[in-house]
Amino acid sequence: MSSHTRKILECRVAARNNANAYAAEIYPKLVAVFASLVGQKLFKANCNLFEKIQKSLPDLRCDSVRPGLHVFRNSDSYSLSWTVRGCESIDGNGNRSEEVTLYIGKLDAVGKLTEICPAPVFPVYTANDIEAKRAVYQQAKVAAQHAESALFPFGEYDRG
C-alpha cells in the first residue's frame, strides 16, 4: 500500500471513529426525548417534527465544539434516525468522510413512534485491522475464483 493510499485509509478510519463516537454520545440524549413519546405521532403534515418535540431536542450542532462532524435528521417514513458524518482532511489535499446512521425508533405508516431501537454498538477501527481484513478477503476471493474454475464446464447451478 502506498503512503498516500495509507493516509486515505487512516483518514477514513479517523472519520468513521469520530462519527461513531459522537453517535454513541448523542444516542442516549435523543432516546431521552423520544422514549416517553412511544405511541404518539411525531410529525406535522410537512414532515417536520412537532414544535414541542423540536424544542426539546438537544443541540446537536458540533461545528465549533467538534469540527469535522455534521449531524442531520433523516427523512424516512418508517424510522426515526439521524446521520452523523465525520470528515477528515488529508494533508490539506482533499478530505474523506464517513457516515453512520443512528436509529432511534421505528414509525408506523401514519408517523407514530412504535418503539425505541436498542442502543447500537459502535466499534473502534484501526487502519491495521482494516488492512488485515482486506488481506483475508483477497485470499478468500482468490480461493473462490479457483473453486469456480474447478467447476468448469458445469458451473455453479444446473438450469432446468
Q: pLDDT digit string (tens) for 28-56? A: 999 999 999 999 999 888 888 899 999 99
Residue 73, in any domain of the structure: yes
- State the average pLDDT over residues 10-39: 95
Residue 126, in any domain of the structure: no
pLDDT band for position 64 (cuts 50, 70, 90): low
Q: Which three cell numbers stand for residue 31?
A: 432516546
Query: Over 80: is that where the pLDDT of 24 sits?
Result: yes
Residue 69, in any domain of the structure: yes
pLDDT band for position 91 (cuts 50, 70, 90): confident
Residue 134, in any domain of the structure: no
Residue 93, in any domain of the structure: yes
Q: What is the pTM of this model?
A: 0.85
Residue found by looking up cell 442502543 in the block: 119
pLDDT band for position 65 (cuts 50, 70, 90): low
Residue 135, in any domain of the structure: no
Residue 110, in any domain of the structure: yes
Residue 117, in any domain of the structure: yes
Q: How many domains does the chain have?
A: 1
| Most confident listed range (57-71, 81-95, 135-149) | 135-149
Name the residue with higher pLDDT: 147 or 160. Answer: 147
Domain of residue 88: give its range.
3-121
- The answer to whether residues 113 and 39 touch, using CB atoms and an 8 Å cutoff, is yes
Query: Over 70: is that where the pLDDT of 114 sits?
Result: yes
- State the average pLDDT over residues 124-149: 96
Q: How many CB atoms lie within 10 A of CB 27?
A: 20
Q: Which of 19-23, 34-38, 61-65, 149-153 has the lowest mean pLDDT?
A: 61-65
